[in-house]
């Protein structure tokens, strides 16, 4: 029981900006990002319209087979995995705090002992510490921004381009139908 009293209590910053010293980086792990079904259905429907039109044009022109196969709805719904690295920091009063770094950051960017100012964002889950949006390394005068994947980067430019073309075709057909 005495060992429990000697273990330092780890707090979570409550403000948007936190200034302190990096104590250590904990072992990183991957976390899966969820993709909302309404967004995915809209993108897949619009992209499907473009694929149907492309197949129709290829059939009329009698050209070869289509391009590469598209990822399935199930694969796209799963979402991307990204690296989460918990960080321990100590403020000016000597209290220990924990935050999460999402995505990758150069290993030489922040070291234990560096004085940093973090811009934080609440993750919406009370069980999770806030995540870092921006790091100002006061020791090295570097501004750093971790870049975790997004839903849009997970879906990919080809699928988003197909969805944009499909939505544009749908809008043009509806505008034409209204004017007739």
pLDDT in tens, 68-98: 666 777 777 777 788 899 999 999 998 999 9
Q: Are 166 and 50 contacting, i.e. CB atoms less than 8 angstroms apart?
A: yes
pTM of the model: 0.64
Q: Are 16 and 119 contacting, i.e. CB atoms less than 8 angstroms apart?
A: yes
Q: CA-CA distance, 55 to 61, in Å (whole number)?
A: 10
66-75 b/e (C-beta count within 10 Å ≥ 16 → b): eeeebeeeee
First-to-last alpha carbon distance for the chain, in angstroms, is: 81
Indicate the pLDDT class of residue 46, thresholds 50, 70 and 90. confident
Cα distances (Å, whole numbers) of residue 84 to 8, 25, 40, 87, 93: 23, 11, 24, 10, 27
Q: Are 102 and 84 contacting, i.e. CB atoms less than 8 angstroms apart?
A: yes
Mean pLDDT of 50-75: 72
pLDDT at 76: 75
Q: What is the rounded average pLDDT for all residues in the chain?
A: 83
Asked whether residue 27 carries a pLDDT value surpassing 70, the answer given is yes
């Amino acid at each position: 029981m005495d060992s429990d009293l000697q273990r330092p209590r780890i707090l979570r910053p409550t403000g948007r900006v936190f200034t302190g010293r990096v104590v250590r980086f904990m072992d990183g792990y991957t976390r899966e990002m969820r993709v909302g079904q309404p967004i995915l259905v809209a993108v897949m429907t619009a992209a499907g319209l473009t694929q149907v039109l492309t197949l129709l044009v290829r059939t009329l022109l009698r050209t070869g087979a289509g391009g590469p196969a598209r990822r399935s709805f199930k694969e796209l719904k799963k979402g991307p995995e990204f690296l989460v690295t918990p960080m321990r920091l100590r403020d000016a009063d000597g209290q220990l705090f924990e935050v999460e770094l999402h995505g990758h950051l150069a290993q030489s960017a922040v070291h234990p002992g560096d004085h940093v100012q973090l811009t934080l964002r609440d993750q919406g889950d009370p069980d999770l510490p806030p995540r870092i949006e921006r790091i100002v390394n006061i020791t090295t005068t570097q501004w750093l921004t971790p870049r975790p994947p997004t839903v849009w980067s997970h879906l990919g430019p080809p699928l988003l381009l197909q969805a944009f073309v499909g939505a544009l075709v749908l809008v043009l057909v509806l505008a034409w139908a209204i004017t007739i």
